[in-house]
Amino acid sequence: MRLTHFSGKIFQIYFKGRIDLKEGYLRNRTNGGDGPKGQIRNKTSTETKSKISASLRGHKHSDETKRKISEIQIGKKRPMSEETKRKLSASHIGRTHSKETKEKMSTKRIGKPLSASAKEKLSKFWAGKTRSKETKEKISKANKGRSCSEETKRKISNTQKGNIMSGESKKKMSEIQKGHIVSEETRQKISMANKGKIRSEETRQKMRDVKKKGETSPFISKSV
């Protein structure tokens, strides 16, 4: 990922810590991005920015440096200021991760469960937001051919237990499934998964009602 000089400085100061605040070993007196104090600085030209970016490209911390940064951060809670967040956000606008970077990020996250706090933040972030049709198509293409592990399936099942789907959600699922043909292989899998399961009288009555109305189940569509 390319970083300009100042956004790179903000990143380094945040993770390595300032010695004056007893957060690390850097001697910087600010959180970065505002240039030297008391000095008039001309605006950095696009050419200079490109040179700085090129010089930083491919730079990697040694294992020893990574270890030091990790040790400094242990047990610390240093939330970014709103100003720092704004600067970092502005420096990354319009940038996209390369395929290689995405794969590295994905590999790094494997086996790392989200904390309850992180889940809550994500839930608040996505509340009331809807994905565009284009985004949905991209997600659909990315997930084609993928299958969940048995452990993942079990976790999903446990999280869904006791959840009651609203009438609106059922209607949306039904519309999505219209015209969809369930393959023979999928039918066999569903049949195997339901073997030995006992449906409650309430569930049976709902299924009978759906059948009487000639509606399609929101979970399994009729083949055409």
Closest to 159 measured CA to CA, from 102, 106, 100, 114: 114
Q: Cα torsion for 87, 91, 95, 97, to the nearest 10°?
A: -70
For residues 12 and 5, give the distance between their C-alpha atoms in angstroms, rounded to a whole number. Answer: 11
Domains in the chain: boundaries: 1-95, 167-224
For residues 35 and 49, give the distance between their C-alpha atoms in angstroms, rounded to a whole number. Answer: 14
Closest to 53 measured CA to CA, from 7, 87, 103: 7
For residues 211 and 165, give the distance between their C-alpha atoms in angstroms, rounded to a whole number. Answer: 19
This prediction's pTM? 0.31
Burial class (CB in 10 A: 0-12, 13-18, 19+), 217: middle
The DSSP output letter for 85 is H
Residue at 163: amino acid letter: N
Q: What CA–CA distances, in Å, run from 4 to 28, 32, 105, 108, 138?
A: 18, 12, 21, 25, 30
Q: pLDDT digits over 153-210, tens only? A: 888 888 887 777 788 888 888 888 777 788 888 888 888 888 887 888 888 888 888 7
Residue 45 half-sphere exposure, CB side, CA atoms within 13 Å? 3
Predicted local distance difference test score (pLDDT) of residue 215: 55
Beta bridge partners of 26: 18
Closest to 43 measured CA to CA, from 73, 95, 6, 9: 6
Rg (CA), the chain: 26
Neighbours of 56 (CB within 10 A): 14
For residues 164 and 167, give the distance between their C-alpha atoms in angstroms, rounded to a whole number. Answer: 9
The ranges of the chain with pLDDT < 70 are 1-8, 29, 32-43, 75-78, 213-224
Q: Is 127 left (phi over 0), alpha (psi -120 to 50) or beta?
A: beta
Predicted local distance difference test score (pLDDT) of residue 3: 44
Predicted local distance difference test score (pLDDT) of residue 38: 42
Q: Is the CB of residue 78 less than 8 Å from the CB of residue 23?
A: yes
Closest to 216 measured CA to CA, from 165, 181, 166: 181
